[in-house]
A and B are shown apart, each in its own frame.
Chain A
Amino acid sequence: MAFDAQAKRNFKVVGTRVTRPDGIDKVTGKAAYGADIAAPGMLYGRILRSPHAHARIVSIDTSAAEALAGVKAVVTGADLAQPDDEDFADVAINCLARDKVLYDGHAVAAVAAKSKSIAKQAIRLIKVDYEILPHVTDVDAAMQPDAPVVQEGRALETVPAGMSQNVTTHCQFGHGDLDAGFAKADKIIERSFKTAATHQGYIEPQACMASLGSDGRGEVWCCTQGQYMVRANCAAVLGVEESQLRITSSEIGGGFGGKTSTFIEPVALALSRKSGKPVKIVMTRDEVLKATGPTISSSMDIKIGMTKDGRITAARGELRYSGGAYPNGTVNMGAQAAFAAYDLEAVETVGWNAMTNRPKEIPYRAPGAPTAIYAVESVVDELCQELGLDPLDVRLMNAARKGTVSSYGPTFNDIGLVATLEAAKAHPHYTAPLGENQGRGLSCGFWFNFGGNTCVSLNINDDGTVGVVEGNPDIGGSRASISMMAAEELGVPYDKVRTVIADTSSLGFNDITDGSRVTFAVGLATIEAARAAIKEMCSRVAKIWDIDEDAVIWEDGCAKPAGPNAGTHPPMTLAEIAAIAGKTGGPIAGHHEVNADGAGVSFGVHLCDTEVDPETGATKILRYTVFQDAGKAVHPDYVEGQMQGGAVQGIGWALNEEYIYGEDGRLQNAGFLDYRVPVASDLPDIETVILEIPNPGHPYGVRGVGETPIVPPLAAISNAVSRAAGGRMTELPMSPPRLLKAMTG
């Protein structure tokens, strides 16, 4: 669906800062989250988890737990189906292990009991006999030929023979003659980097309530980024048909990609099937950190050549990612994104994924891109330092633009990178003075964005209001944005439109809320659904006026005669048409189903000032500005919120957040005390500058904005810290002990 032909549309609703529809419920505590759902006769589920990083399950004895009064069901991996599809099979053994436990916290068995305290006692009565196996948690160690093998026989055909069986993915992207390119360089820098796995850190732990009756019909209420994904996973893992499961998504207390998989819903359904009662499972924070998905950990080598005036002549990156104990393709996205901001003659990226005894990676905002771009942007910054060049000028000189053949293949259409860099250069932040022990860093960021499968129904109510039904949980203000686009298109006030999120039985299939796709794709489908409803309304009015359909146009929320030849009928408002719909052919609705293409890539530039304490290694973020191309900012508050939120999560990733494993392979910091997300007092006000370079693939020019903002912070902060500390930092997080050691030797 192309950008609307009218060059300068005069938006009335889109671009304003209207009140969010879910605001009052959320501030008054009325909003129902995953753990707020209850049913009569409901049981409490609880999961037994592995204390070992890697072990064979010799036997599980559940008899004592089953015998405990108040226990209504106990399930193990044997109670779940074994899907043929590898992805579903991985979901199944991740929900409940079968032959082996693959990481500390891997689910082994579950109970449903009449109370939480009985469930707790029952869990302790389950006897699991483990044969402990050697483990590996570091990606480089896992790639060694003699490393303990996490799973056998999982490598894709693209992986060369003779490597560790942990290596499951190999990919390669690029173009041009690298040797010739490096030969033209005046300066070549080659560096290696490591980054720790980080968690999405959503405040609401996963929670669900599930019921599966003897008639084979099931219901699940859960906190998720995709009810249709939950349905598909549960159907495959339980061995039931999708039509028999109805999944309703609750309000969501943060997702950031982390709620795009299932951990507890199939287990609750299995317990319900066995007990005949609804079963509720609510994860603890400890379980969330141990057993839901963090992002990848990485080890990377980057080599870039540059002429003395700043032109990049060649670039190569080798990325080694670990997505935990299962095969994982995130490195593909990292390898494609690494050099996307640059127009390069010679570029190559090579990616590897290696399995480790860590929880299964689940997407985290722009999965794969932040780490790769951190490494690339660090080397570009160091080249600028070494050659005495302005880092913004160098990026402008080498920036990808319309017509650039990207480092991963496609040729870019209209993109906003140059405009974003120019905005950063013109901003007072870039030239503000710095004091002692302070440094300024910058980084570009990139994300592909996604469209995907989308259904929307739009109903014209008989009182002249409008209901929009969509199928993607609202993780970032999408109900407001969708209502705004419907109001814009129909020409009615925003408060006449209410958008609700359908359960899986009430609307056709929708892809999960991922890839920054909802404002783009659901917005696009909403506009089309509104246009369908408008067409129908014009048709009804044409009948009333007894003129051709083509002679009726829609303007400012009214049907009007199209020119003098159509007669002099007074305009009919949407409300007037709706009120008599029963007499003109019945209810009026519009709908649209699409696999949306043309999401339009998004670029951002972040500027960051830091001060380091040379005596303690502490880093303070002094000033932070985000510049990003939003295509068209539908609700600027939400766009700014995404930009600020991404920056803040990136600050945590850069400075303190990390999965810390002991020698025993167990996670040492499964709680928010020692898994340190930033607190409010750690942060300056994050300034934002929205640029609007319309996306040719959307009628209003919208681009997804949710993921790009987490891409630049890692390098922006590392570059600022490296300049402040007087030495290049190459490992994340830059925790105070690590930074102090780097500064003092």
Chain B
Amino acid sequence: MRYVKPESFEAAATLLRNEDGIARILAGGTDVLVQLKAEMVEPDLMVDLKHLPGMRDIVAEDGGFRVGAAVCGAEMGEDAALKAMWPGVVEGVELIGSSQVQSRATMAGNLCTGSPAGDSVPAMVTAGAVARVQGPDGVRDVPVVNIPTGPGKNSLAKGEFITSIFLPARPDNASDAYLRFIPRTEMDIAVSSAAVSLALDGDGVVTDAHVAVGAVAPTVLLVKEAGDTLVGSKLDDAEIAGLVSAVEAACNPITDKRGTIEFRTKTAGVLAKRAAHIAYSRAGGQA
């Protein structure tokens, strides 16, 4: 295995495109090192990107934030302004792994791994986050929701990788929340999950709502009907019931060692309901 620390994004992209064998990107390393230890993969090329400009930075941009692809969860949790604007996104990232993993694991890695259970993904999707993708032929911006294509798969072409994720500006009276179900209290993988992002008017009426669920389909799902149900409401029982049934209708999970179809569907609805109430309260709404 060759380990390379390229001098520029362009050089990294060229290196990755020209590799005939198995190539892996090293940012946090919390997936690839585990795969190496478990002997799931033996890469021919490992490209380390952590040191490249901006990879470790959180910067304010257009009223929102650009988060470098090698910024770890603990660093996001320590950024008060980022956390104030996107608490749901930050709490999602901060649920990944242990304290040790927290000091390495990244949002971009969590996204590219393509797990439908990735904890940072649903809230990025409801935030309308955009990934900046570097490739051999230049840079493009891709909505986060379009990156994962199925378990372990993503839409990036050979030689492409994410350099940063942009979380846009948002109005006052807006917030988000993320919840997952795990059988323990930490150190686990979501059996189901839900993120809700809401914006309210001055009277506490929802003006904009996005709902995403995880671990209930091959990719994280943005459930448009669920968000639409909440718009114009103050999260009264009828709208919450509508949210739950829209989420349950969208779920298409599998039964495996972590949970059944029935359990995942039921709990995704419950989590969406609970996350909606948290986001509403964070946005200043009075229940």
Contact = CB atoms under 8 A, between A and B. Distances in A.
Interface of A: 120, 286, 615-618, 655-656, 660, 668-669, 673-674, 676, 678-679, 681-682, 735-737, 740-741, 744
Nearest to A736: B183
B272 to A, nearest CB: 12
Contacts of A676: 183-184, 188
Q: Which interface residue of B183, B187, B189, B259 has the most chain A CB atoms within 10 A?
A: B183
Contacts of A740: 263, 266-267
Q: Which interface residue of B39, B186, B189, B266 has the most chain A CB atoms within 10 A?
A: B266
Task: List the 6 closest pairs (A to B, CB-CB), nearest first.
Answer: A737-B263, A681-B185, A615-B270, A668-B257, A660-B257, A682-B185
A616 B270 contact: yes
Given A120-B39, A616-B270, A673-B189, A737 B184 contact: no
B44 interface: no
Contacts of B270: 615-616
B262 interface: yes
Interface in B254-287: 257-260, 262-263, 266-267, 270
Interface in B161-193: 181, 183-189, 191
A90 B185 CA distance: 40
A531 to B, nearest CB: 50
Contact of B184 (A120, A682, A744): A682
A656 B263 contact: no
A617 B257 contact: no
B6 to A, nearest CB: 26
19 contacts: A615-B266, A616-B266, A616-B270, A617-B263, A618-B183, A656-B184, A668-B257, A679-B184, A679-B186, A681-B185, A736-B181, A736-B183, A736-B259, A737-B262, A740-B263, A740-B267, A741-B262, A741-B263, A744-B266
Contacts of A674: 257-258
Contacts of B38: 286
Interface of B: 38-39, 181, 183-189, 191, 257-260, 262-263, 266-267, 270
Contact of B181 (A618, A668, A673, A741): A618
Contacts of B262: 737, 741
Given A616-B267, A740-B266, A678 B184 contact: yes
B164 to A, nearest CB: 29
Contacts of A679: 184-187
A67 B30 CA distance: 36
Contacts of B266: 615-616, 740, 744
Nearest to B263: A737
A117 B39 CA distance: 11
A736 B187 contact: no
Given A616-B181, A660-B257, A682-B184, 10 more contacts: A616-B266, A618-B183, A674-B257, A676-B184, A679-B187, A681-B186, A736-B191, A736-B263, A740-B266, A741-B262
Contact of A655 (B183, B186, B188, B260): B183
Contacts of A618: 181, 183
A120 B258 CA distance: 31
Contacts of B187: 679
Contacts of B188: 673, 676
A660 B260 CA distance: 14
A740 B187 CA distance: 22
A669 B257 contact: yes
A736 B191 CA distance: 10
Contacts of B39: 120
A679 B185 CA distance: 8
Contacts of A286: 38
Contacts of A737: 259-260, 262-263
Nearest to A616: B267
A120 B36 CA distance: 13
B183 A656 contact: yes
A617 B262 CA distance: 12
Nearest to A614: B270
Contacts of B185: 679, 681-682
A640 B43 CA distance: 49
A668 B257 CA distance: 7
Contacts of A656: 183-184
Contacts of A744: 266
A741 B255 CA distance: 14
A332 B183 CA distance: 33
A104 to B, nearest CB: 14
A735 B184 CA distance: 10
Nearest to B98: A679
B265 to A, nearest CB: 11
Contacts of A616: 181, 266-267, 270
A736 B263 CA distance: 8
Contacts of A660: 257
Nearest to A656: B183
A667 to B, nearest CB: 10
A286 B40 CA distance: 13
Nearest to B258: A674
Contacts of A668: 257
B112 to A, nearest CB: 20
B183 A735 contact: yes
A668 B187 CA distance: 19
B102 to A, nearest CB: 14
Q: Which interface residue of B188, B258, B262 has the most chain A CB atoms within 10 A?
A: B258
Nearest to A675: B257
Contacts of A655: 183
A286 B262 CA distance: 30
Nearest to B39: A120
A120 B185 CA distance: 36
Contacts of B267: 615-616, 736, 740
A736 B270 CA distance: 14
A657 to B, nearest CB: 10
Contacts of B259: 736-737
Nearest to A681: B185
B129 to A, nearest CB: 27
A671 to B, nearest CB: 8
Contacts of B184: 656, 676, 678-679, 681-682
A71 B32 CA distance: 28
A618 B271 CA distance: 13
A736 B257 CA distance: 12
B255 to A, nearest CB: 9
A552 B115 CA distance: 78
Contacts of A615: 266-267, 270
B85 to A, nearest CB: 28
A699 B259 CA distance: 53
Contacts of B183: 618, 655-656, 676, 735-736
A618 B181 CA distance: 9
Q: Which interface residue of A616, A668, A679, A744 has the most chain B CB atoms within 10 A?
A: A616
Nearest to B187: A679
Nearest to A660: B257
